[in-house]
């Protein structure tokens, strides 16, 4: 049976019935679209790890090792589905592939100049008016890409000025403050995209697919290029938000709560910023009481 099915056909099966357990299928769909483009006409039984490794090498030309690993992981998940649930293969041909070495997590944040340029680029991108509220949400709340793209109007509490994230990555519900420019942008967006409690805030622009979330990748590349941003990913907006919080007095526990981390381990990278703030606070107190000592 596997000889009669191409990778493209199995991807369609998987998208229809194999991703129900995923909280955010958008990223996996993006990855599988790449594999369909590269290997879609390959029969499943003829798909080899060597061919996949060749494609992975191509991915690393303009993507990080971490990203390339995620692409391969998505394809491997598909092949596990084909093997275990559909019995289309005897074994997953990618099960023994070793991951590329990944660097330790980096913290790339926007400078003031970059932030202003990025927001100007979003405002100027008439083709994708979604980008202004999306980017402002990312910068001011630190929400994950998938959390933003899967927001529904029912999740927005204008009265309490907060966003309710019902099923976050760590499996818990959390409330995120919605204030300032982000709140203004969402109110403005509600006039462009009339409120329907069950509808997505940012639905797909593809005709006939309003139930799918907005496809961010192309629009993000456009605004990033227009703003002159280099070595900057959408996820870095989350780092930027966390850094802004730290530099404005938030403690590590507060940052973790806002970003939706169960432990402090993931926010320790911002500890030097909170330490700087504590030092400045104590210095101001000391100067106010004892006077500045030169």
Same domain (yes/no): 64, 168: no
Q: Per the domain annotation, does 14 fall within a domain?
A: yes
Q: Looking at 65-74, 187-196, 223-232, which range is the least confident one? A: 187-196
**The model's pTM:** 0.67
CA dist 179 to 143, 149, 157, 208, Å? Answer: 14, 19, 11, 33
Using a pLDDT cut of 70, give the percent of the chain over it: 89
CATH classification of the domain holding 25? 1.10.150
List pLDDT tens digits, range 73-124: 999 999 999 999 999 999 999 999 999 988 776 678 898 999 999 999 999 9
Contact 165, 141 (CB under 8 A): no
Please state the domain count of the chain. 2
| pLDDT (average), residues 135-145 | 93
Please tell me the predicted confidence (pLDDT) of residue 1.
44
CATH classification of the domain holding 155? 1.10.443.10
Identify the residue whose tokens are 């990203």: 67
Q: At what angle do helices 112-124 and 131-141 cross, to 10 degrees?
A: 150
Which structural domain range is residue 75 located in? Answer: 2-85
CA dist 109 to 85, 178, 191, 237, 260, Å? Answer: 42, 21, 31, 7, 19
SS3 177: strand
Provide the pLDDT confidence category of residue 18 given band limits of 50, 70 and 90: confident
List pLDDT tens digits, range 34-53: 999 999 999 999 999 999 99
Contact 226, 124 (CB under 8 A): yes
Q: Per the domain annotation, does 174 fall within a domain?
A: yes
C-beta atoms surrounding 45 within 10 Å: 14
| pLDDT (average), residues 130-151 | 93
Residues belonging to the chain: 294
Same domain (yes/no): 55, 172: no
């Amino acid at each position: 049976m596997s000889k009669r099915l191409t990778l493209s056909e199995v991807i369609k099966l998987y998208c229809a019935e194999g991703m129900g357990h995923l909280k955010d299928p958008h990223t996996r769909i993006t990855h599988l679209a790449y594999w369909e483009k590269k290997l879609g006409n390959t029969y499943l039984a003829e798909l080899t790890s060597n061919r996949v490794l060749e494609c992975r090498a191509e991915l690393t030309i303009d993507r990080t090792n971490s990203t390339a690993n995620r692409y391969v992981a998505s394809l491997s998940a598909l092949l596990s589905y084909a093997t275990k649930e559909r019995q289309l293969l005897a074994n997953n041909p990618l099960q023994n592939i070793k991951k590329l070495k990944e660097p330790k997590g980096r913290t790339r944040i926007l400078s003031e100049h970059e932030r202003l340029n990025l927001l100007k680029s979003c405002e100027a991108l008439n083709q994708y008016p979604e980008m202004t509220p999306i980017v402002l949400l990312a910068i001011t709340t630190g929400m994950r890409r998938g959390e933003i793209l899967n927001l529904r109007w029912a999740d927005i509490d204008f009265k309490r000025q907060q966003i309710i994230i019902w099923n976050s990555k760590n499996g818990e519900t959390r409330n995120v403050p919605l204030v300032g420019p982000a709140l203004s942008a969402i109110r403005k967006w509600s006039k462009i995209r009339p409120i329907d409690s069950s509808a997505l805030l940012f639905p797909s622009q593809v005709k006939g697919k309003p139930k799918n979330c907005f496809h961010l990748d192309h629009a993000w590349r456009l605004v990033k290029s227009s703003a002159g941003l280099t070595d900057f990913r959408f996820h870095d907006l989350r780092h930027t938000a966390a850094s802004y919080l730290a530099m404005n007095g938030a403690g590590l526990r507060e940052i973790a709560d806002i970003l939706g981390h169960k432990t402090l381990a993931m926010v320790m990278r911002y500890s030097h910023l909170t330490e700087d703030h504590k030092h400045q606070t104590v210095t101001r107190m000391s100067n106010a009481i004892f006077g500045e000592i030169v």
